[in-house]
Structure 1
Amino acid sequence: KASVGFKAGVKDYKLTYYTPDYETKDTDILAAFRVTPQPGVPPEEAGAAVAAESSTGTWTTVWTDGLTSLDRYKGRCYHIEPVAGEESQFIAYVAYPLDLFEEGSVTNMFTSIVGNVFGFKALRALRLEDLRIPTSYVKTFQGPPHGIQVERDKLNKYGRPLLGCTIKPKLGLSAKNYGRAVYECLRGGLDFTKDDENVNSQPFMR
């Protein structure tokens, strides 16, 4: 009789990702999520699902799990408590090991923690309520290359606040008209203008 070395199948997240005995480390990124499970989903399973789907987990066991140390890299739901005065709402506390995240990348951190987990079927609603980022991770962000004094020296503006604005409408201006708006702002006395965050290199800007 041939032995079965691997068997796929759906398994409960809480078997792996709910660890109430876990003691958080100073280097962990800690997140507090407000979780509303779907009817019939236990809160521990919902909290564990958040920890799993925002770290190393998937809905089934895969053979490649054996190629890494899940115990080292997985997120852990280490505590869950009901929200006072709210029906079927819980705060799930999740710890993430620092090795899960690229140094100095806010994008990578938030893609993991507040990414596709928010569309997870086991949850009726999910909200990130709080986040603790350890000092060791904060130090990997280089920050601005210089301070306000260098900015003032470049602008030759001293003894008053620097005044700027965002160009409006934020979308739809051609490159020529956008430049005209910037010119008029600076000619009128502003020190700087700022692109709206929606502006990249859309066709109307070329």
Structure 2
Amino acid sequence: MIILKKIVLSGIFFTQDWVSMPGVIPVASGGIHVWHMPALTEIFGDDSVLQFGGGTLGHPWGNAPGAVANRVALEACVQARNEGRDLAREGNEIIRAAAKWSPELAAACEVWKAIKFEFAPVDIPDQT
């Protein structure tokens, strides 16, 4: 039996006995950027892999500033969570506050602010 638990400060855990299988770690990937960091921090906690491909490489100043922006956003969210703040409710405010002292994060916030995933269902019959 698999039981899913959410421990507020540590993330989500499966309590299944994995026998001899080594532990696993959750991965978030595919279209993620600095504005997603509050939700990712709340969902995955501290033990996860966050693969920011385009969210790093798409930074207007290059790869290294993109990595800095992601790290600053992550550290701001972890600190806010540890202070007891509500990441779901205050996430954008937390990112904006951190961007005031990180020009790399401010530039990333500007690049990714208008990104929306708007799509129609793909599993409907064609209308002919």
Task: State the TM-score, normalizing by the size of structure 1.
Answer: 0.21
**Structure whose residues are more often helix by fraction:** 2
Please identify the structure whose Cα radius of gyration is greater: 1
Task: Provide the TM-score with structure 2 as the length reference.
Answer: 0.31
